[in-house]
Chain A
Amino acid sequence: MIRRPINSSTAVILGILSLAVLLGSYTWMAHRQHLTNPDDTTIPTWTQIKKGVGDAFKPDDWNNESWIASDAKATGARFFLGLAVGVMGAFGIGMLMGCFTPVEAFCYPPLSLLAKIPPTGALGVFFVLVGMDTSMFVTMIAFGILPTLALTIFLAVKEFPEELQFKAYTLGASHSEVVWTVIFRFVLPKLLDAVRLVIGPALVYLIAAEMVVGDVGFGYRIRLQSKLLDMSVVYPYLAILAAFGFTMDFGLRRLRRKLCPWFEKHQG
């Protein structure tokens, strides 16, 4: 039947089943591959993956730090700095655009143009402008997510009904109170949702840039190990990235639910 609801335990069982199918077919593929070529590293067996993970966690001779530690530090710092700069910039621009029409008229055309430039393509520009350290990755993530995020926030502010704005004034609000105690609270859940949506693209930009110019970091390591066809490191790295993205998403959703309990039902 179309759209017939199922009970929750069935849903959980089906979810687990799909994951089991995924892992099972991988195991089978690896097994088949190793029958023809026992030394294969493109589809590593679980033992090979375990060894790869062990390698990743083993302290390096060079600086006595494991790959995973140095990569996580570098990538994490770049990612969170870039995300913070992008979100704060987008929040400022989006709020200003939504509240002041001249700012809207001034910022809208360049933002909608910039939003269409693939930031990975503009890598060279950032390289020339800000140099090759963390700040380049930060600039690229910020630049990549800012236009879309700013437009999303701007549209959310636009959705704020003017009746509520007038009402706030009749209740004695000052201009800054209208912005911070009324409009901001109205926009906050949408801001958190918008941030959730840009986590994926931000990771894409960062990993791609690290693949091209990094000397440390997740993207760098993945490229290096891929070139060596050593998938026993690449797959765990991808799994870590997936887990990271999932956790961020989950955390932001929890945060939104905690900060804005009114939002979910208000929508439906």
Chain B
Amino acid sequence: MECRGVSHWFGAKRVLHDINLKVQRGQFLSLVGPSGCGKSTLLRAVVGTHLPLEGEILLHREGTQREAEPVAGPGRDRGIVYQHYSLFPFLNAQENVAIGLMLDQTSIPFRFFNFLKWRRIRKQHLELAAEFLTKVKLQDAMRLYPHEMSGGMRQRVAIAQALIMKPEIILLDEPFGALDEATREELQTMLLKLYAENLQAKKRGETPAYTLVIVTHELNEAIYVGDRLVGLSQYWDWKSEGQPEFPGATIVYDKPSQVFEPKDSKDFQQFAIQRDEVRHAVFNPDVRQDRSEYVTYWSSAANAS
């Protein structure tokens, strides 16, 4: 996924300015920023529900010779997990996970006219959904409706619902924002397990299965879960770029972040250096540095290899 020169504004209010961001397959990217910096606007642009007014978002499809396609609207190649309303209230957990397969692979006329065939396919879908629910440790809650589940369970189902589609990229919009600390940690560990699967796949020489962009306001979570930390902020030195007035928030921080194993203890000491740096560069209104100062992800990646 690549954002090229993405800008957005609402009337006179400038929100995003010239966002350039490349996400590679297999990355777990955490997006942080002060409130009001346009994280959600950027995410909506990537989902395709609210397209940016300038610039474009491109999807490079792995393993195909096709040209990168610009995003024109929401589609099955980008999954989304919202903080609220993450599940269809009229379907139980298993049906919620299976509905993507149904919507994607079959159509209303097919389900109506080929009823018997559809019933066979449906059975396979439900079996696959059960597998994914087992993956997120919900094998005992398959028949529960969303209102019968706790917040943590709902988010697990929502993640399984996105995973089963095997999209190019999954976007999580403050997914654990409404959860208590213990549940949140559990789910973070679950994401780390997915990342570990990615690493194993890479080791075997396969393309990693999951690409995640996690929008969060919790800095520790961002560092813990992601392997790359991107900061979006309105506090940057736009005057030195010759802008007469504030052009909108942009990316002011982009560095790798420490990779944790699922069983590693979450030692806040390890985060401290990066956390302070991000606080300084992204969240502090008084520090207005050049926007490229902390954007070193690709150069450090090049150095590493």
- On chain A, the residues within 8 Å of B108 by CB distance are 174, 176-177, 180-181
Q: Are B147 and A265 in contact (CB under 8 A)?
A: yes
What 1/0 flags go to B73-113 for Cβ under 8 Å of A?
Answer: 11110111010111011111000000110111101100000
Q: Are A262 and B89 in contact (CB under 8 A)?
A: yes
Interface residues on B, range: 35 or more
CA distance A167 to B91 in the complex (A): 14
Q: Is A169 an interface residue (CB 8 A)?
A: yes
- On chain A, the residues within 8 Å of B76 by CB distance are 169-172
Q: Is A28 an interface residue (CB 8 A)?
A: no
CA distance A74 to B107 in the complex (A): 42
Q: Are A181 and B90 in contact (CB under 8 A)?
A: no
CA distance A260 to B146 in the complex (A): 13
Which of A52-60, A126-134, A158-166, A204-212 faces chain B? A158-166
Chain B residue with Cβ nearest A261: B145
Chain A residue with Cβ nearest B147: A266
CA distance A218 to B109 in the complex (A): 44
Q: Are B47 and A266 in contact (CB under 8 A)?
A: no
CA distance A178 to B99 in the complex (A): 12
Q: Is A213 an interface residue (CB 8 A)?
A: no
Q: Are A163 and B74 in contact (CB under 8 A)?
A: no
Q: Is A185 an interface residue (CB 8 A)?
A: yes
Q: Is A30 an interface residue (CB 8 A)?
A: no
- On chain A, the residues within 8 Å of B145 by CB distance are 261-262, 265-266
- Among candidates A164, A169, A174, residue contacting B88 with C-beta atoms closer than 8 Å: A164
Q: Is A111 an interface residue (CB 8 A)?
A: no
Q: Are B90 and A166 in contact (CB under 8 A)?
A: no
B74, B79, B161 pick with most chain A CB within 10 angstroms: B74
B93 to chain A, nearest CB (A): 12
Q: Are B147 and A170 in contact (CB under 8 A)?
A: no
Q: Is B148 an interface residue (CB 8 A)?
A: yes
Q: Is B165 an interface residue (CB 8 A)?
A: yes
A219-265 contacts to B (CB < 8 Å): 260-263, 265
- Among candidates B74, B84, B90, B100, residue contacting A262 with C-beta atoms closer than 8 Å: B90
- On chain B, the residues within 8 Å of A203 by CB distance are none
Q: Is B167 an interface residue (CB 8 A)?
A: yes
Q: Are B75 and A169 in contact (CB under 8 A)?
A: yes
Chain B residue with Cβ nearest A164: B85
Q: Is B49 an interface residue (CB 8 A)?
A: yes
Q: Is A26 an interface residue (CB 8 A)?
A: no
CA distance A191 to B145 in the complex (A): 20
A163, A167, A176 pick with most chain B CB within 10 angstroms: A167
CA distance A173 to B84 in the complex (A): 20
- On chain A, the residues within 8 Å of B90 by CB distance are 185-186, 188, 260, 262-263
Q: Is A85 an interface residue (CB 8 A)?
A: no
- Among candidates A167, A169, A182, residue contacting B82 with C-beta atoms closer than 8 Å: A167
Chain A residue with Cβ nearest B173: A163
CA distance A181 to B91 in the complex (A): 11
Q: Are B85 and A170 in contact (CB under 8 A)?
A: no
Q: Are A173 and B103 in contact (CB under 8 A)?
A: yes
Q: Are A182 and B78 in contact (CB under 8 A)?
A: no
Q: A171-B161, A172-B76, A177-B107 are in contact. Are A161 and B85 (CB under 8 A)?
A: yes
- On chain B, the residues within 8 Å of A186 by CB distance are 88-90
Chain B residue with Cβ nearest A259: B90
Chain B residue with Cβ nearest A173: B103
CA distance A164 to B167 in the complex (A): 18
Chain B residue with Cβ nearest A266: B147
Q: Is A168 an interface residue (CB 8 A)?
A: yes
For this complex, 5 residue pairs linking A to B, each with C-beta atoms less than 8 Å apart, are A167-B85, A167-B88, A169-B48, A181-B99, A262-B92
Q: Which 10 A-B pairs have the closest CB atoms?
A: A172-B104, A172-B76, A169-B74, A171-B100, A163-B85, A173-B103, A161-B85, A262-B145, A266-B147, A185-B90
Known: A163-B84, A180-B108, A181-B103. 11 other contacts (CB 8 A): A163-B82, A170-B47, A170-B76, A170-B79, A170-B80, A170-B165, A172-B75, A174-B103, A181-B99, A262-B145, A265-B145
